[in-house]
Structure 1
Amino acid sequence: MRIRIQYRLFLALLAASGLAVFGMFFIMQWSIDRGFLQYVNTLEQSRLERLAAGLEEAYAARGSWAFLRDDPAEWLRLMLRTLPEGSLTPEQRERLEKRLERRAEQGRLPRPEGRLPGPAHRFESRVLLLDADGSRILGPGGAGADLPRTPLRHDGTVVGSLILLPQKELSDVHQLRFVQQQKLALALVGLVVLLISTLLSLLLARRLVRPIQLLATATRQLAGGAYATRVPTVSGDELGQLARDFNALALTLEKNETARRQWVADISHELRTPLSVLRGEIEALQDGIRQPTAEAIASLHTEAMRLGRLVDDLYQLAVSDLGALSYRKEKTDFTALLREALASVRPRFADKGLTLKEELPAADLRLFADPQRLHQLLANLLENTLKYTDAPGEARVSLQAEKATAVLRIDDSPPGVPEEAWTRLFESLYRVEGSRSRTTGGAGLGLAICRNIVQAHDGSITAGPSPLGGVRITITFPLEKMP
């Protein structure tokens, strides 16, 4: 049978609380028994000191211990005087003394060498009186040789000693009743604490499991495609951090789903245009509206080539997004590579009426990079500048070293792009209306491929306004460390 985590957590908390309560109960019970017994022995030690003081006074008045043998009632009178103040009322004390007198007259008191009547646990039955030689005068015999002695002195001389046999367990009715009451009170306290712990454990288990239940429900909704699902974050602990991480994941999935749908829509739109043109021209040839002339076949070839370039760009972008583009990095002279790329496109710039200027450093700037991918990057960027710069116009390419990086800037003259489009120029299939068209431009995939190539070389690429009035593309690459 599967037990829900809420009940498992509740049982764990309850078990911990129960063990703590029972452990506390048994420890306190042991402490009460031991501590109260020590307390009773301490009180009896005080009573023994009072008995010693009374015996010293009696010995000083009589000069020997013979009075105890001659008058056994005196020993009991001394015992009565050691009782704490308030333990007996004057009337009770007087009645006890008269009872002792009657027993003494009747000869019912024990001889000095015997043990006093009464239970063995009573104070009177556990006091041993010894003379100066250590011989027993009164009290139980055969015990107490190794116990501490309380000396009895007269004129600075030890005339005897007292030994108190300690209690090893409680046996007095009043003492036992008191201890039982304390244990009962402790048991009631433990029961109340256990009940409170049970209630708190149940509430705490529900409170701890509630966020987990919300996360489980939200996870099922997210798995079902409801990417707008969010969970509330009301705490700053680990569960709150888990909720925030879940919301971040849901937001990322929602953005990815939106991007996927936009991607499918854009791809469909991009493919529809050349396919529609091809179908229209082929149907015109089939219907005899157009003749299969060289111009008609050339138009079909142009649309087929445009469709082929679009498919090639899509493939290049797909493999670069997956990181599947192969890179063969080596030490590369970026300055020489850029100079070759500029030389190859300079005639085309001149044919369109664009002036191409370059500002290259005299020294070589070496990168650890793939020369073929860098050439593809430069070709895409320069082709983009050539297509989207109006004639007459100007393009300027500069390369310089800044700290440990090579910085490449490509500026062109109008038209520029709106400020809100700067960060989106490197998105797949993105077009800036008015400055790009499908007839003169591509599908908006070139800059996305450029971004992936730059990132694969641990560089960065950004777009912004150009001093020439158009767009500035800025690329940074880490320079190769020289030995």
Structure 2
Amino acid sequence: MRISITHKLFLAISLAAAVAVISLVLAMQWSMKQGFLRYLNTIEKTGVSRLAASLEEGYRRESGWGFVLHHPAMWQRLIMTSIPEGGMPPPPGPPPELLAGPAANLPPPLGMDEKAPHRPLPPRLLHHFEQRFFLLDAGGKVLISRLEIPAHSEATPLRNQGKVIGYLGILPRTEISEPHQERFLKEQTMAFAIVAGIVLLLASWLSALLSKRLVRPLQNLAGATRLLAAGKFTTRVEVVSADELGQLAGNFNTLAMTLEKNEQARRQWVADISHELRTPVAILRGEIEALQDGIRQPDQHSLSSLHGEVLRLARLVEDLYQLTMSDLGALTYRKKNLDIIALLKEIVVIHAAQFTEKGLSLTNTVPAENAVEVFGDAERLRQLFTNLLDNSLKYTNAGGALRIDMTCHERTVRIDFQDSAPGVAGADMERLFERLYRVDASRNRETGGAGLGLAICRNIVEAHLGKISVQPSPLGGLWVQVELPRTNP
């Protein structure tokens, strides 16, 4: 059976709330009982002070403890007068034979009003209260006690004429024994249980609302993901919060937008490739059919024309292959430390004659000082510089110029290629690194370019952990800037 995430969240929140509420109720019940016991023990300690005063007065009158040791009824009577419940008089006095002794002449216990109405104490209450009192002599010997006295029990010293004559104490309660007290605790426990039930119901209701609210964005994302998987890349979800779910929705929208752009680029890529391949193939087909129909003769001129179209088609296919391999990371890079100055000078010398033939001025300020080393592949860097020089050679007007500058920094080396008119508009400049993109005013198939050179250049530079950028040239054309990391700062 599959449980939805809504139910899982509901059960998890409800279970957490139930554990918290039950734990709180148990803790409160335990705290209530312990606090009630402490309260009762504190109240009973007030009786100790009253009993202590009565015992001290009796000791002073009788000059000893005999009035309580030999007359248990007097001990019980004194305890009754010290019970902290107001208005509780002592029970009926001891039998006549006990009152005939010295205890008969004792005054009423301290704090006792003989005229107060007599209200007998329940036997059970009297028994539990009386048996927990204990009396010790000055040396700590037990005089009166019905229970074993634990060590270090708290006791009140009794004094006569400034001397300690004994100790009086009461053992604290450890359990609730009186019916009315037990009934009070049961009522409190029932009240806690009712409150806990109400809280659990509210927690369940809130957890149901919260789980639905938390899962709703996930459900929207799940539905949008299905649409995205079906190829509907225009799908977007609403970002309704700034938390992790909101960030997830924002990331989904970014992914969808990226996929949409990639899909558009893929379609444009296929259309551009088809267009680029169709032109030379159509030319080849037309010329071959003309030869077959006898419209043109298979002479040297027609063969040269066919050969030129085949070479143009081969260059396009090779550029496409190189770019695809670069995108896939399948190009082989055999990197080592090499002198970038020597490599660039070598490429410039190779292309100098072509610039001269076209009437272009080629100048460079490459330093002739010590070598500047970079960690790279010599063949790929040659391909990079060759592509940049070919671009200037193809797209710079006759009589123009190309200037190459190299600037060495502590950690990088920067190479600038600046050519003269024609230039590139700002809107077109941002798209120069796109595949098969060409500025119509200055680049066309007649020059042999397919719009792949700069895209290949960017991949080579990034493979060397460098940067490449374009901007308008002070000479009126294009300024290409290549920055590569150095290995010998």
TM bracket, shorter-chain basis:
0.7 to 0.9
2:106 matched residue in structure 1:
none
Alignment match of 1:206 (pick from 204, 209, 212): 212
Q: Is the 8 A contact 2:132 2:146 kept in 1?
A: no
Query: Structure 1 CA distance, aligned partners of 2:226 and 2:260?
Result: 15
Map 1:270-285 to 2 at 5 A. 270-285=276-291
Q: Is the 8 A contact 1:389 1:413 kept in 2?
A: yes
Distance apart, 1:80 and its partner CA: 4.9
Letter in 1 for 2:482: I
1:469 matched residue in structure 2:
476
2:113 matched residue in structure 1:
none
Once the two structures are superposed, residues 438-478 of structure 1 have per-residue CA deviations (whole angstroms, 9 ceiling, x without a partner) of: 11231111121122122222222222212221112221222
Query: Structure 2 CA distance, aligned partners of 1:300 and 1:476?
Result: 41
Alignment match of 1:362 (pick from 359, 365, 368): 368
Distance apart, 1:43 and its partner CA: 1.4
Distance apart, 1:189 and its partner CA: 2.4
Q: Is the 8 A contact 1:149 1:162 kept in 2?
A: yes
1:13 matched residue in structure 2:
13
Please state whether the residue corresponding to 1:462 is helix, strand or coil.
strand
Deviates most, 32-41 or 75-84: 75-84
Alignment match of 2:461 (pick from 454, 457, 472): 454
Please state whether the residue corresponding to 1:471 is helix, strand or coil.
strand
Distance apart, 1:409 and its partner CA: 1.7
1:432 matched residue in structure 2:
439
2:406 matched residue in structure 1:
399
2:338 matched residue in structure 1:
332
Shift of the 42–312 alpha-carbon distance from structure 1 to 2, 3 Å rule, reads same
Once the two structures are superposed, residues 95-153 of structure 1 have per-residue CA deviations (whole angstroms, 9 ceiling, x without a partner) of: x67x736x867999xxx9xxx9822644245445677799988x765755865554443
Q: Is the 8 A contact 2:132 2:147 kept in 1?
A: no
Q: Is the 8 A contact 1:411 1:473 kept in 2?
A: yes
Q: TM-score, normalised by structure 1?
A: 0.86
1:186 aligns with 2:192: yes
Shift of the 255–63 alpha-carbon distance from structure 1 to 2, 3 Å rule, reads same
Letter in 2 for 1:402: H
1:55 matched residue in structure 2:
55
Query: Structure 2 CA distance, aligned partners of 1:154 and 1:203?
Result: 74
Distance apart, 1:296 and its partner CA: 2.4
Deviates most, 10-19 or 251-260: 10-19
Once the two structures are superposed, residues 150-185 of structure 1 have per-residue CA deviations (whole angstroms, 9 ceiling, x without a partner) of: 444333455565453543421212212222222222
Q: Is the 8 A contact 1:48 1:82 kept in 2?
A: yes
Once the two structures are superposed, residues 319-343 of structure 1 have per-residue CA deviations (whole angstroms, 9 ceiling, x without a partner) of: 1111211122233232222222222
Letter in 2 for 1:43: I
Distance apart, 1:266 and its partner CA: 0.5
1:269 matched residue in structure 2:
275
Query: Structure 1 CA distance, aligned partners of 2:67 and 2:169?
Result: 20
1:100 matched residue in structure 2:
92
Q: Is the 8 A contact 2:156 2:167 kept in 1?
A: yes
Deviates most, 117-126 or 70-79: 70-79
Please state whether the residue corresponding to 1:412 is helix, strand or coil.
strand
Deviates most, 465-474 or 341-350: 341-350
Please state whether the residue corresponding to 1:6 is helix, strand or coil.
helix
1:441 matched residue in structure 2:
448
Q: Is the 8 A contact 1:121 1:167 kept in 2?
A: no
Query: Structure 1 CA distance, aligned partners of 2:256 and 2:444?
Result: 35
Q: Is the 8 A contact 2:277 2:313 kept in 1?
A: yes
Q: TM-score, normalised by structure 2?
A: 0.85
Please state whether the residue corresponding to 2:413 is helix, strand or coil.
strand
Shift of the 125–383 alpha-carbon distance from structure 1 to 2, 3 Å rule, reads closer
Shift of the 74–359 alpha-carbon distance from structure 1 to 2, 3 Å rule, reads closer
1:22 matched residue in structure 2:
22
Q: Is the 8 A contact 1:228 1:250 kept in 2?
A: yes
1:229 aligns with 2:235: yes
Map 1:4-153 to 2 at 5 A. 4-61=4-61, 78-84=78-84, 87-88=86-87, 100=92, 118-119=123-124, 121-128=127-134, 141=146, 143-144=148-149, 148-153=154-159
Letter in 1 for 2:484: F
Once the two structures are superposed, residues 235-285 of structure 1 have per-residue CA deviations (whole angstroms, 9 ceiling, x without a partner) of: 333333322222222222111111111100100111111112122222333
Please state whether the residue corresponding to 1:43 is helix, strand or coil.
helix
* Structure 1: runs of 5+ lacking an equivalent: none
Map 1:313-328 to 2 at 5 A. 313-328=319-334
CA-based RMSD of the aligned residues comes to 3.2
Letter in 2 for 1:186: F
Query: Structure 2 CA distance, aligned partners of 1:133 and 1:365?
Result: 102
Letter in 2 for 1:4: S
Q: Is the 8 A contact 1:118 1:125 kept in 2?
A: no
Please state whether the residue corresponding to 1:52 is helix, strand or coil.
helix
Shift of the 381–69 alpha-carbon distance from structure 1 to 2, 3 Å rule, reads closer
Deviates most, 353-362 or 164-173: 164-173
Shift of the 347–40 alpha-carbon distance from structure 1 to 2, 3 Å rule, reads same
